[in-house]
Structures are given as structure tokens and as C-alpha cells.
Amino acid sequence: MADVLRRFTSGGPGRALLRRLGVQVPVALPRHEPGRPEFTGPVLLGGTGSGRLGPVLAGILQRAGVPVLRTGDPGDGSGAAALVFDATGLAGSAGLAQLYEFAHPLVRQLPLGGRVVIVGDVPGAAGSAAAAVAAQALEGFTRSLGKELGRGSTCQLLRAAPGATETLEAPLRFLLSRRSAYVSGQVVRVGPPVGAFPPPAGAPQAGRVVAVTGAARGIGAEVAGLLARDGAHLICLDLPSRREELERTAARIGGTALAVDVTGADAPEVIAAHLRERHAGVDVFVHNAGVTRDRTLARMSRAEWDTVLDVNLGAVERITAALLADGPGGPVLRDGGALVCTSSIGGIAGNRGQTNYGAAKAGLIGLVRALAPASAGRGVRVNAVAPGFIETDMTARMPLLVREAGRRMNSLGQAGLPVDVAEAVRWLADPANAGVTGQVLRVCGQSLIGA
């Protein structure tokens, strides 16, 4: 069966079809590595005549130490590894032609792993219907361009809400860096800072306590590793049946292990008490544990429904409630902290055979959206990642054909790696990223699949 698909996707007609659908020939994505520069090269900065953020963006890039080019400079953009366009302040759709004029001659010159970031207004906060139209048009442009860039290049839209200026720094740097290698075609809303801002200088998570569920292996272990490298003390949670693997993972990153089944009736209490008594609280809690029990609804057992709903959603809700409940010295999740949930494309678009998983992962989106405004007063941000096709134990168990199609049906033409999701979690957990809350970031290489 796999041969048939491989022949099809490697033959001329199959390739032509996939290319027209926006599926690209895969290239090795440049990813972040310690010691490697944050950016792949100079950034060409452009904008409309009326943009309000040009100086802010230039300042961010200068502080990041990345060379900034301008259209009209000698060489006219050649050598730029990334394009940033300030599309704020567009009064109407006629102004969109400036974006065409900027990007049209430049997109072809982008190197492997190039970056395009368009910065626009939030349509609902634009000053007029005409401005809202232009701001929304940027989304269709961004998603279309993401589908045609190829060669590991990505394209995103940053929506700057009123009051979002310094808070643009963390999103812009992430999206321009190699850390967002598998994020493309996304729309990120940046607001004014939630909580104390800017955070203290130094390593992002220095002196902070971070807990991650499902941390023995896979994405959870990658998340724990990245946040430990950022200076956090890690508490790694996973099932008692994985205790040995969990302890190895925790030891490797200088963290501690807590073997607990998140669905256990006493798990919320056990986890909250552990964090409070041993660590005087937690700054970041990453809900990563998850399971699938795929079956069409007609054939799905009640147990398959219940397990998936409970592990992926119910346990997250109960543990979150325990972390947010008031207690001696305040809630276990400290002021200025962050919650990160792990949703899924299945929670956005649904998936055949996953009424249980789709419901649970959509429920997490509801949780993020409900808790974010309620938690902002304490400086707590609540976000989710929504992975697409990531090479994990879970996807390794898929039938070969589905797996191969899943890998290819996105703008980068390949599956993501656990580290790609971990980088997104790291970014959402970073106190410097204070303008992003209540959001769901897809980490999917701009999967074709959506709602």
C-alpha cells in the first residue's frame, strides 16, 4: 500500500497535484541549536506609508542584533533572510497594493528557511470598516503566501492590538527565528502586557518552577528539556507505570519526577500539594499528557469515549482548578505564571474516528479562551499549542498510508518533530511573551487541514 502512495507522490502527476495543493517538496528545516545564531540572516523591513510600528519593529530588530535592510538600500533586499512588513494603519483595501509591491520582487530571493512576518491591525480594533477590511485581507494574503513559499520558508501575520508595542518583541523574534521552524500560516494576536513587564533580565525561566505532564518521553520530555535549559527547575509528571523512564528524563535535566496518573481522583490534590509543599508553588504548568482511542462514533465504546475525554480534558480541568484555587499564600500557580494546554488540529477541524479526541481537544480551546481573561488580573497567561502531524509514538501507530499523507499535506511537506511543539510551548511559557494570552498556536507546518 505504501508503495502505491509513494509512487503516486513521487511521480510527475502526483507531485504536480501536491504542489498545486500547496504541498511542497520537503527540505531539511533549519532548527534552533544552542550556540547557533538566533536568526538566519538580515531582515528586510518595509511598510506602508501609514504604518505606526516601523520604529518599534526596527528597535526590536536592532536590540536582537540582526542586520536590518530597507527597500531602496543598495542591493535592494538581496541577502535578506526574512521580510517584515508593517501593514498597520492601512485605511482601506487600496493600500494592500503596497504589500504586493514590497513582497512581489523579494519572495523569490528568500533563502532556505526564509521568514515573512506581516504586522497588521486587529480588524475589530481598526478605526473604520474599510480599515477592518484591509486588516482582515492580510490574513488571506498571509495564508496564501505561506502555501507557495516552499523551501522551508514560513509566513505569519502578527496582529498588534492597541497598546501592543514592547510586547511585539517576543512574538517577532520567535517567528523570525529557527525556533518556529514548523509554524507557518498562523495569525498571532499580540496585546498589551499581562502582568509585570518587562520581566527581569537573564535566562527566561531562571529561578522559576515548571511542571509538565506526560514528560517521560516524546513532546513532554522535549518541553521539559527546553525549559530546564532556560533555567527552570522542572517537575516531570507521568504515569507510575513509566516511573523508571520518567526518573531518567528528570535526572537528565536536573529536575525531579512525580509519578502520578493525572486521571486519578486524588491527582489534583496530590499535584497541588506537591508543588506547594516542595516548591512553594509553580510558575508554569504544561498540560501535555494525552491519549487517543480512535474509532468511528458508531463503533466507539463508552470506555473509549470516557478515557479520551478524561485524560485529555477532564483531568486538565480538575488539575487546573486545583492550581488556581485559593489556598494558604494564594493559588499554587503563582502570579505572573503561565498555563499551556496541548490542543490539536483535531480540536479545530475534527477528524474521522476522533469524535472523542476532537471534542476533548476543542474543549481545551474553550478552557484557554475562558480562563485567559479571568486570569489576566494576576498576570497569568493561558494558551495552547495545537500540533499537526508530529513524529511521535502516537503517529507511529497510524496506518502507513494515513501517516504518509499526514506528513505531506502541509506547506512544509513534512512532519514536525517533538522539539517543534516544545519550542512553541517554550515561547508561550516565556514571561517576555506577555502580550499573548487566550490563544491557540498551531504547530503544523500550515497543514492543509482546518475548519
Output 244 or 266, the one with its CB closest to a second copy. Answer: 266
When binding is defined by CB under 8 A, the residue of 103, 209, 234, 415 that contacts a second copy is 103
- Stretch binding a second copy (CB under 8 A), from 30-38, 168-176, 285-293, 360-368: 360-368
Of 377-406, binders to a second copy (CB under 8 A) are 399, 401-402, 405
Output 138 or 323, the one with its CB closest to a second copy. Answer: 138
Q: All 3 cell numbers of residue 402?
A: 494515513
**H or E segment and range at residue 356:** helix 355-375
Alpha-carbon gap, residue 188 to 199, rounded angstroms: 21
When binding is defined by CB under 8 A, the residue of 21, 28, 196, 325 that contacts a second copy is 21
Output 362 or 429, the one with its CB closest to a second copy. Answer: 362
Output 172 or 316, the one with its CB closest to a second copy. Answer: 316
DSSP-derived secondary structure for 213-273:
SS-SSHHHHHHHHHHHHTTPEEEEEE-GGGHHHHHHHHHHTT-EEEE--TTSTTHHHHHHH
User: What are 75's strand-pairing partners?
Assistant: none
- Stretch binding a second copy (CB under 8 A), from 158-166, 196-204, 280-288, 352-360: 352-360
When binding is defined by CB under 8 A, the residue of 63, 78, 94, 254 that contacts a second copy is 94
Active site residue 357: yes
Site string for a second copy, 44-73 (x = CB under 8 A): ------------------------------
Output 425 or 440, the one with its CB closest to a second copy. Answer: 440
Output 136 or 256, the one with its CB closest to a second copy. Answer: 136
Output 156 or 205, the one with its CB closest to a second copy. Answer: 156
Q: How far is the CB of 231 from a second copy (least distance, A)?
A: 31
Of 165-224, binders to a second copy (CB under 8 A) are 185, 187
Using omega within 30 degrees of 0 as the cis cutoff, is the peptide bond preceding 55 cis? Answer: no
374 binds a second copy (CB under 8 A): yes
Interhelix angle 355-375/315-324, nearest 10 degrees: 10
User: Which residue in 102, 182, 357, 427 is the catalytic one?
Assistant: 357
When binding is defined by CB under 8 A, the residue of 355, 410, 414, 437 that contacts a second copy is 355
Alpha-carbon gap, residue 286 to 279, rounded angstroms: 16
- How many residues sit close enough to a second copy to count as binding (CB under 8 A)? 95
Whole-angstrom distance between the N-terminal and C-terminal Cα of the chain?
A: 29
Output 90 or 215, the one with its CB closest to a second copy. Answer: 90
DSSP-derived secondary structure for 379-415:
T-EEEEEEE-SB-SHHHHTS-HHHHHHHHHSBTTSS-
Of 224-283, binders to a second copy (CB under 8 A) are none
Of 112-171, binders to a second copy (CB under 8 A) are 123-124, 126, 128-130, 132-148
Alpha helices per DSSP H over 53-128: 54-63, 96-103
Alpha-carbon gap, residue 260 to 238, rounded angstroms: 6
- Stretch binding a second copy (CB under 8 A), from 26-34, 91-99, 169-177, 428-436: 91-99
DSSP-derived secondary structure for 38-97:
SSSS-EEEEE-TT-S-HHHHHHHHHHTT--EEETTSTTTTTT-SEEEEE-TT--SGGGHH
Alpha-carbon gap, residue 102 to 111, rounded angstroms: 17
When binding is defined by CB under 8 A, the residue of 247, 359, 391, 395 that contacts a second copy is 359
CA 226 to chain centre: 14
Alpha-carbon gap, residue 435 to 256, rounded angstroms: 30
325 binds a second copy (CB under 8 A): no
Q: How far is the CB of 50 from a second copy (least distance, A)?
A: 17
Q: How far is the CB of 44 from a second copy (least distance, A)?
A: 15
Give the side-chain half-sphere CA count within 13 A for 192.
5
**H or E segment and range at residue 236:** strand 233-238
Q: How far is the CB of 357 from a second copy (least distance, A)?
A: 8
Of 419-448, binders to a second copy (CB under 8 A) are 448
When binding is defined by CB under 8 A, the residue of 203, 352, 377, 397 that contacts a second copy is 352
Residue 185 gets the label, from left (phi > 0), alpha (psi -120 to 50) or beta, of: left
Of 288-307, binders to a second copy (CB under 8 A) are 296-298, 300, 302, 305-306
Pairing state between β 82-86 and 43-47? parallel
Query: Using an 8 Å Cβ cutoff, are 139 and 177 in contact?
Result: no
76 binds a second copy (CB under 8 A): no
When binding is defined by CB under 8 A, the residue of 52, 243, 369, 378 that contacts a second copy is 369
Output 197 or 305, the one with its CB closest to a second copy. Answer: 305
Amino acid found at 80: A
Site string for a second copy, 328-347 (x = CB under 8 A): ------------------xx
Interhelix angle 2-10/400-408, nearest 10 degrees: 20
Query: Using an 8 Å Cβ cutoff, are 106 and 44 in contact?
Result: yes
Q: Give the three-class secondary structure for 432.
A: coil
User: Known catalytic residues?
Assistant: 357
